Chain A
Amino acid sequence: MKLLLLEDDDATRVQAARQLTAAGHVVEACATGPEAIFMATQGDYGVLILDRMVPGLDGLSVLKALRAAGVRTLALLLTAMDGIDDRVEGLEAGADDYLVKPFAAAELIARVNALSRRPPMSDTAVTATIGDLTIDRVKRTVTRAGQRIELQAQEFKLLDYLIQHSGEVVTRTMLLENVWSFHFDPQTNVIESHMSRLRAKVDRGFGRDLIQTVRGAGYRIDD
C-alpha cells in the first residue's frame, strides 16, 4: 500500500520509512505541511501518517485543510503530546487514529495495517467466522466446533476486536484503547491476564490455537 509520511525530524522520517517499507508498503515522505497537502491532494495514498508537531503548518492544520478540501484518505496522527484533549482534538480534526511518540516500529506498522483494512461500520457483519469459531455480535454468543463458549463482557469485546482485525497484529496499546478505553499505561498485566483467560476458553482443548502471540509486537487471531 502507498503511504504518505509527514515528519520533520530527518532521523525519525528515514527510520519510519525504512520500517514501513520493510513491512511491504510504499512510502513517500515529506518534511513540511504544504508539501504534505500538495502530495495528499495529488497522489493516491492508502494512509496518511502525519506528525502533529511540524514547524510552520503542523500536521493538525494539514489534516484540517485536507478534510476541508474533501480528501477522505485515512489518517494517522503522530504526536509527542499525550493529553486527552490533544487526542480528542486530533480525532475531531478528522484523524482516524492517534499514536503517541515514542513508539515501537511494530506499533506503527500494526496501526497502519489496522487502518488500511478497517471495515466500514456497516460492513461489520452480525456474525463472523475464523476457522471453526463463530461470533454472533447481536446475540453476543461464541461457538467453536459447535460448542457454546461462555465469555465475560470484556473477554467478548477483546475477542471481537481481534476478529475485526483477523490476520493482523494488534498491539497492547491498541487493545487498551479500543477494548478498555484506557489512555494510560497500566502497571499490571491487564492485557495478559484477560488474554490468558480468553485463550483458556477459546483455544484450550480445541487442538489448534487461533490466538497467537507475536513476539515484541502483540497478538493476532488467524485460522
Chain B
Amino acid sequence: MTEPLQRSQSPFRSGAFRFALVFAAVFAIAAFLMLSMVRHQIGHYAHKAMEGSLTSETATLIAEEPEGLAGEIRRRMGATNGAAFQYLLLDRQGRSLVGAIPQATAHEGWGSVVMREHASTPTDPEGPERLMTLGTRLADGSLLVVATDGFDVDKVGGHMTRFTILWATAITLIALVGGWMTGLIFLRRIGAANAAIERIVAGRTEQRLPMIGLAPELDDLARNVNRMLDRIDGLMEGLRQVSTDVAHDLRTPLTRLRQMLEAAREAAGREETDAGIEIALAQADQLLATFRAILRLAQIQGGGRRTPFAPVHLDELLRTLIETYEPVASDAGHLLTADMVAGAVVKGDADLLAQLFANLIENAIIHTPSGTRVSIEVQREGDAIEVVVRDDGPGVPGAERERITRRFYQVDPSRSGGGSGLGLSIASAIATLHEAQLTIEDALPGLRIGVAFAQYSGTPENL
C-alpha cells in the first residue's frame, strides 16, 4: 500500500472556502465601486439642483423693487419654515445692509463658503456647514449674494459610506462562514468518496463511489468514475478469463509437443529424428500463432489506441478476399460464390475488417466437409449494410450457436481442421469495435453469419 489517499484537511484549506474568499473580495470591490459611482452621481445632481435653486431665488429677488429688496430679504430670513436660503445685501460702497453670511462671499458669480459657527456635534459629525453662493450685481450698483446648503451631499455621502462598509463587512463575514461550512460539508462528502477509493485500492473492487451531492456536476463525476470502474472490472474479469482459458487450452498442444520431442529423441534413425523435429517445429509454430491470436484479440477487445477509422468500400475489400480464398476453397473441394451490391461503404479499419471477413470465410471452409458451397453476400436495407457468409454444410446445433464466439470454443474438436478456436472470437471483437451486429443463425441447411454495419454517409470526396 502506498501513501494513504485521504489527507485530513481543514475547511479553511478547502476549495469551497477559497471560493468564498474570492467571492467576498469580489463583492467588497464591487460594493466600493458602486458606492463611489453613486456618490459621484448624487454629488453631480445635487450641485446642479443647488445652482438651479440659487439662480431662481436670485431672479425672484431681483424682480423686487430695489428699495423693497432689503425688507423682502429680512422677511424671508425671518420665516421659520426651514429657510433653505441665506442672504447678504451690500450697498454700492460695499456696506452690509442685511444678511448673515460672511463678507468673504461678497463677489459676483459662483462661490462657496464654510460656516465656522456650525461646529461638529455628535448628531452632525460632518462638521462645519458648506454653503454654495451666487453673487449678482444689481442695477443700482448694490451686490446681492444668495447662499444655500439646500442638499447636504457630504452628509448623504457619509451615511452611504457607513451603510456600505457595514453591509460589505457583514456580507463578507457571511460569505466566509458560509464558505467554511460548505467546505466542511464538501470535505465530508469528498472524504466519503476517498474512503470508497481506499477500499477499492485495498482490493474490494466491487465497491463504488457514493454520490458526492452539492452539485450535479460532482455527481456526474462520481457516476463517470463508477462507469470507469465497471469497465475496468469487466476488463479484469476478461483478463482472468483469458488466463484461465490459456492455461486450460494450451496444455493440450504443449503436451502434444512434448510427446513429439520425446518420440524424436527416441527415434531409431537420423531421418526419423529429423521428421519428428520437423513436426514439433510445426506444432510450436501453431502454438506461437495461437499466442499471437490471443494477444491480438486482447488488443482489439481492449479498444485503446488505434488508427482512425476511414471509409472502407466493402465490395472491393470482399472481392479481393474472394480472389484470395477462391484457390483455398477449391483445394478443399468447396465452392466459393459472391453476390454483392455495389457502393457499400462503412467507416472502419480496412486491415481489421479484412481479418474479420477472412476469419468468417476460413471458418466456413475449415469446419465444413468437401463439396460445401460458401457464399458471400452484401445486402443493403435502408441505412444498414449486412455482409452475410453462408454455407450449406452441417451447420451448428442451436444450443452451440450461443457459445461459438467464445475463446477456444470448438463445436467438434475432431472437425477443427487445425483452427486455433479464436477465429470467431476475433471476428466478434472486430465487429464490436466497429459497432456492427454479428448474428449467427441457422441457414437451413448450414450456418449463416451476418455482420450488419451502418452505411457510411460521408461526402463522396472523403472516399
Contacts and interface: CB of A to CB of B under 8 A. Distances in A.
Given A84-B349, A182-B358, A188-B366, 11 more contacts: A84-B351, A153-B323, A182-B355, A184-B355, A184-B358, A185-B292, A187-B362, A187-B419, A188-B362, A190-B324, A216-B278
Contact of A188 (B285, B295, B325, B349): B325
B143 to A, nearest CB: 94
Interface in A101-158: 102, 104, 152-154
Nearest to B417: A187
Interface string B346-357: 000101101100
Contacts of A42: none
Given A182-B354, A188-B362, A188-B366, A152 B299 contact: no
B323 A83 contact: no
A183 B362 CA distance: 15
Interface of B: 278, 281, 285, 288-289, 292-293, 295-296, 299, 305-307, 323-325, 327-328, 331-332, 349, 351-352, 354-355, 358-359, 362, 365-366, 417-420, 423
A153 B292 CA distance: 29
B296 A82 contact: yes
A119 B417 CA distance: 40
B306 A185 contact: no
Contacts of B299: 82-83
Residue among B306, B324, B366 with max Cβ neighbours from chain A (10 Å): B324
Contacts, number: 70
Contacts of B358: 182, 184, 186
Interface of A: 82-85, 88, 100, 102, 104, 152-154, 180-190, 193-194, 196-197, 216
Nearest to A154: B323
A104 B417 CA distance: 24
A154 B419 contact: no
B306 A187 contact: no
A189 B331 contact: yes
A197 B323 CA distance: 13
Query: What are the 9 tightest A-B residue pairs by CB atom distance, in nearest-first order?
Result: A193-B327, A185-B289, A193-B328, A184-B355, A188-B328, A187-B362, A83-B299, A188-B362, A187-B419
Contacts of A88: 307
B288 A154 contact: no
B415 to A, nearest CB: 13
Contacts of B292: 82, 100, 185
A43 to B, nearest CB: 33
B390 to A, nearest CB: 18
6 contacts: A82-B295, A83-B296, A183-B351, A185-B292, A193-B327, A196-B331
Contacts of B281: 216
B351 A85 contact: no
A7 to B, nearest CB: 19
Given A84-B349, A193-B327, A216-B281, A187 B288 contact: no
Contact of A181 (B354, B359, B362): B354
Contacts of A193: 327-328, 331
B327 A187 contact: no
Contacts of A185: 289, 292-293
B362 A186 contact: yes
